[in-house]
Structures are given as structure tokens and as C-alpha cells.
Amino acid sequence: MNLSVCPTATPGRLNDLLMNEILTVNTVTYLVLDEADRMLDMGFEPQIRKILLDIRPDRQTVMTSATWPPEVRRLTDSYMKNPYQVSVGSLDLRACTLVEQTVEFLDESRKKERTLEFIENMQEGEKVLIFTGRKVTADDVASDFTLRGLNVQSIHGDRYSLSADCD
């Protein structure tokens, strides 16, 4: 079997690669738009639409979305033929009643210290995921916490790369 995997990219970065002729997508037969709702929230709709025009029309497309807002439905209706919607769990967007959510407003300079306080109060066997807005911040937090003897791992797009010819 001849299988070719294209790299994962944000819509803007993928369009840059296409525009600079570093990559072509005219033979792509399978497209995955992960977290389509978030990409649309972030203003990537024009870039997504351009990519969808560049990829062959007989492709198979998968869109994942935590929510199913009108923008995602509109994109689906515009660029998919006979789409199937698969829902895991309820489409009711109420918060889980089993999760306690606490919001703390902190100065930027206090965030890392407060996160450490939270971790130090965790029980044996508990785990935590910490989301950051930037890859460099994830690396910075992981480095600081490792120096304090915590077992941490930074996971983001620069940590694992796949190089492949997509022609």
C-alpha cells in the first residue's frame, strides 16, 4: 500500500506552505479539520475555505468539533457531500455536574506560583493537565516544574514532527 501522510498545520501555516510552493495538496484524498469550531472562532474561515478549494473535490473530509455551531454547519453544507454527523455523548452544552470549577483572577506574575500551590495540594495518584496559550510558555512551565522535582511533560506541535512528501 502506498500511503502518504501530510504534516499537521494550522490553516494559515498550510496556506503559507502552499503559496510558497513548498507543498501541494492536489492529490490529498483525506482531510481532517480537527476542532473546526475553534479554528472558526479564531478567524481561520477564509484560510480553511481556500484550502478546501485547493484540495481535490472527491476527497473524504472529517471535521471534529466540541460544539456544532451555525458556522461549522455552514462550512459543512458548503464543502461536504452527504455529510454524516456522529455525536459522542449529549449535544446539550451544559457543564458536567460532577466537576467542580473554580475561577481565580490573578496577576500574570502570580500564575505559576499559584499553579505550584495547587499541585502541592494534590492527592497521591491525582494528575493535572495545564493548558497554555503559547508553546514557549508550555516549555517554560515544564522546565520550571521539572527543576522543582515534579514529573512533567510538555506536549505541543514542535515536540513531535512528521516529515513527509505530500505530492
Instruction: Tell me what pLDDT residue 12 has.
Output: 82
Domain housing 51: 11-79
Same domain, 72 and 115: no
Instruction: Tell me what pLDDT residue 166 has.
Output: 46
Tell me, what CATH number does 18's domain have?
Answer: 3.40.50.300
Residue 1 resides in a domain: no
Residue 103 resides in a domain: no
CA dihedral over 158, 163, 165, 166, signed as positive or negative:
negative
Kindly report the number of other CB atoms within 10 A of residue 151's CB atom.
Answer: 7
Residue 35 resides in a domain: yes
Same domain, 27 and 70: yes
Residue 99 resides in a domain: no
Same domain, 75 and 115: no
**Phi/psi of residue 33, each to 5°?**
-110, 95
Instruction: Tell me what pLDDT residue 167 has.
Output: 46
Residue with cell 521539572: 146
Instruction: Tell me what pLDDT residue 114 has.
Output: 92
Residue 100 resides in a domain: no
Q: Check if the beta carbon of residue 5 is closer than 8 Å to that of residue 164.
A: yes
Residue 2 resides in a domain: no
Same domain, 18 and 73: yes
Instruction: Tell me what pLDDT residue 150 has.
Output: 86
Q: Check if the beta carbon of residue 18 is closer than 8 Å to that of residue 6.
A: no
Residue 139 resides in a domain: yes
Instruction: Tell me what pLDDT residue 147 has.
Output: 92
Grid cell digits, residue 31: 482531510
Q: How many domains does the chain have?
A: 2
Grid cell digits, residue 132: 497554555
| Residues of the chain with confidence (pLDDT) below 50 | 1, 160-167
Same domain, 75 and 121: no
Q: Check if the beta carbon of residue 37 is closer than 8 Å to that of residue 72.
A: yes
Query: How do residues 119-160 score in pLDDT, each as one tens digit?
Result: 888 888 888 888 888 888 888 988 998 998 888 888 776 664
Instruction: Tell me what pLDDT residue 165 has.
Output: 44
Instruction: Tell me what pLDDT residue 127 has.
Output: 81
Instruction: Tell me what pLDDT residue 4 has.
Output: 55
CA dihedral 43, 44, 46, 47 (to 10 degrees): 160
CA dihedral over 146, 151, 157, 159, signed as positive or negative:
positive
How many CA atoms lie less than 13 Å away from 68 in the CB half-sphere?
13
Same domain, 19 and 60: yes
Instruction: Tell me what pLDDT residue 19 has.
Output: 87
Residue 90 resides in a domain: no
Instruction: Tell me what pLDDT residue 110 has.
Output: 92
